């Protein structure tokens, strides 16, 4: 009677187990994300395999050993379906929702191994093998395997430590202790190693034990802000305070350089070739830090070039025999004639005689600007006029906190005439669009021309008055326009005479 009851219970549980497994799969399908439901295909196939093996065992007339084998395989397939469904329910359902992010792969693998290890023990027990006796008799084998897998096990436990301490997350930029440059972006942490993608799109595999033993610099924590530095050598005859001001002004609005926290400049060292300065600035896009540092160096080069500061070079004694240099007087004359041709295209200098125009051209100097660099800023004081010799610049006006582009100037065009002639503050911001070379007419150079050319101030004031009338609002009657133009010309002439002490 007792044996019949036990058999009935066993058969009842055997019929109920597939239904419970199917119910567990339905529950997992309701809990996991829609994109993860495709992972239920494997446990579904295992459940179908269990049903087919069970049906084959019950219908086929097999010997005792064959029937036992089919029953064991059906039992293993059912346990595997339960284990895989339980894994999906825990890893992709409960833990993902609790952690608000996918479970790290190494923890997923450990959980899955534990579940399948449980299946193995249950299968061994169903097959008549006691797992305890098997583990006891295989102690020597276990020791041999442990020694042979020592490095692998070290990487596994190091990976567990990295996941537990969370020194970095997927997507963080990290740097090893013995590296001066960012190594790359963390892509994955698995059993053996951590995969890191460099900026060159090269995948680096770093063993977990190496990361666990050494120092790791996480460039993405605690914030995305990272301070970078650029070294600049300047000759000893320049005062540090002047160099600090020049360098900070040069990189003030470099794309990628943050305004907050503010940039800084320190005197870093007295090098054999000059004083070494360290420009320190913050970036938020560490992936582009090389491009940003390159743009900073470009700005520094242009700023030093405009200031007439040469980069120091190593002191060496070199004796070179060369051919006699070309006639410098001929080169200077040719250069002045080219600049005079540019001046002739400017209506302000049209009244000048050829000799006066050539004399003014000889006193011009050129400046170079990097793309996106500000040449003038609205509201700044100034007394220079600029002619575009090469490149393109944009004229910008402030509109609240933004700047609106109102015009673009190309080679042969000019700007800044009112500041040169009257000393008034800049009425617009001018920014280089491409690399630009500009000719600069300063107050001191133009003052001699005004004094040596009688009536030039009157003619220039009339030209400026006409230009202001053209740029003003809609005109009224012609007579009123003429009267306004004469009045504006007189005002401008008065300001020119006052500014140049004529």
**pLDDT for res 232:** 93
Residue 235 makes CB contacts below 8 A (sequence gap 6+) with 274, 275, 309, 310, 312
Q: What's the pLDDT band for 477 if we cut at 50, 70, 90?
A: very low
pLDDT of res. 280: 94
Higher pLDDT: 86 or 94? It is: 86
Cα 199 to Cα 174: distance, rounded to the nearest angstrom? 12
Q: In what order do the strands lie in the sheet with 402-409?
A: 374-376, 429-432, 393-399, 402-409
Enter the pTM of the model.
0.60
d(CA 399, CA 380): 17
Q: pLDDT for 145-197, tens place per residue?
A: 555 555 666 666 777 677 666 778 888 888 876 666 667 888 888 777 888 88
Q: What pLDDT is stored for residue 62 in this prediction?
A: 65
Continuous H helices in 427-477: 443-452, 456-471
Tens of pLDDT along 380-413? 888 888 989 889 999 998 888 888 898 899 888 8
Question: For position 473, what pLDDT does the model report?
Answer: 44
In eight-state DSSP terms, residue 464 is: H
What average pLDDT does the chain have? 76
Q: In what order do the strands lie in the sheet with 184-189?
A: 203-207, 193-197, 184-189, 173-176, 216-218
Confidence of residue 336 (pLDDT cuts 50, 70, 90): confident
**More confident: 262 or 126:** 262
Provide the CA 381 distance to its chain's centre, in angstroms: 35
The pLDDT, as a whole number, for residue 486 is 52
Length of the chain: 502
Give me the percent of the chain exceeding a pLDDT of 90: 13
Half-sphere exposure of 273 (CA within 13 A, CB side): 11
pLDDT at 146: 54
Average of pLDDT values for 45-70?
75
For residues 101-122, give the mean pLDDT.
Answer: 67
Grade residue 248 by pLDDT with cuts at 50, 70 and 90.
very high
pLDDT at 10: 46
Please determine, for residue 479, whether its predicted confidence score (pLDDT) is greater than 50.
no
> Highest-confidence range of 137-146, 275-284, 343-352, 396-405, by mean pLDDT?
275-284
Give the residue-averaged pLDDT of 371-386.
88
Task: Give me the percent of the chain exceeding a pLDDT of 70.
Answer: 69
6 pLDDT more than 50: no
489: Cβ contacts below 8 Å, ≥ 6 apart: 458, 461, 462, 464, 465
279 compared with 413, residue with greater pLDDT: 279
């Amino acid at each position: 009677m007792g044996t019949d009851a036990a058999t009935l219970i066993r058969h009842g549980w055997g019929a109920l187990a597939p239904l419970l497994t199917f119910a567990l799969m339905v529950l997992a399908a309701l809990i996991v994300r829609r994109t993860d439901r495709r992972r239920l295909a494997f446990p579904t196939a295992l459940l179908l395999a269990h049903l087919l093996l069970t049906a084959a065992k019950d219908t086929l007339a097999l010997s005792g050993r064959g029937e036992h084998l089919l029953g064991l395989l059906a039992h293993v397939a059912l346990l595997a379906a339960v284990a895989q469904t339980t894994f999906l329910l825990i890893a992709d359902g409960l833990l993902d929702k609790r952690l608000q992010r996918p479970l790290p792969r190494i923890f997923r693998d450990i959980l899955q191994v534990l579940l399948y290890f449980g299946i193995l023990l249950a299968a061994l027990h169903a097959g008549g093998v006691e797992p305890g006796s098997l583990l006891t008799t295989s102690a020597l084998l276990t020791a041999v395997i442990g020694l042979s897998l020592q490095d692998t096990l070290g990487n596994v436990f190091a990976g567990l430590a990295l996941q537990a301490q969370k020194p970095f997350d997927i997507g963080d930029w990290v740097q090893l202790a013995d590296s001066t440059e960012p190594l790359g972006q963390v892509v994955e942490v698995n059993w053996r190693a951590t995969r890191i993608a460099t900026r060159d799109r090269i995948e680096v595999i770093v063993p977990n034990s190496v990361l666990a033993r050494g120092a790791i610099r996480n460039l993405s924590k605690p914030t995305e802000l990272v301070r970078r530095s650029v070294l600049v050598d300047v000759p000893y005859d320049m005062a540090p305070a002047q160099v600090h001001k020049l360098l900070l002004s040069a990189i003030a609005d470099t794309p990628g350089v943050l305004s907050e926290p503010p940039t800084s400049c320190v005197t870093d060292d007295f090098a054999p070739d000059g004083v070494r300065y360290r420009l320190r600035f913050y970036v938020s896009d560490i992936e582009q830090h090389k491009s940003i540092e390159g743009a900073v160096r470009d700005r520094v080069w242009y700023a030093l070039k405009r200031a007439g500061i040469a980069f120091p070079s190593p002191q060496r004694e070199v004796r070179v025999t060369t051919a006699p240099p070309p006639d410098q007087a001929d080169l200077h004359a040719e250069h002045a004639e080219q600049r005079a041709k540019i001046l002739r295209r400017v209506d302000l200098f049209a009244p000048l005689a050829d000799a006066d125009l050539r004399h003014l051209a000889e006193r011009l100097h050129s400046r170079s600007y990097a793309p996106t660099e500000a040449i003038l800023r609205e509201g700044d004081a100034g007394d220079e006029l600029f002619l575009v010799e090469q490149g393109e610049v944009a004229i910008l006006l402030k509109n609240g906190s933004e700047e609106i582009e109102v015009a673009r100037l190309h080679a042969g065009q000019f700007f800044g005439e009112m500041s040169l002639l009257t000393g008034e503050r800049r009425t617009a911001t001018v920014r280089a669009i491409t690399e630009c070379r500009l000719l600069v007419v300063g107050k001191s150079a133009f003052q001699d021309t005004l004094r040596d050319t009688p009536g030039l101030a009157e003619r220039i004031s009339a030209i400026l008055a006409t230009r202001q009338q053209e740029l003003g609002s809609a005109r009224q009657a012609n007579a009123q326009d003429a009267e306004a133009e004469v009045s504006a010309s007189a005002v401008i002439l008065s300001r020119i005479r006052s500014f140049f002490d004529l």
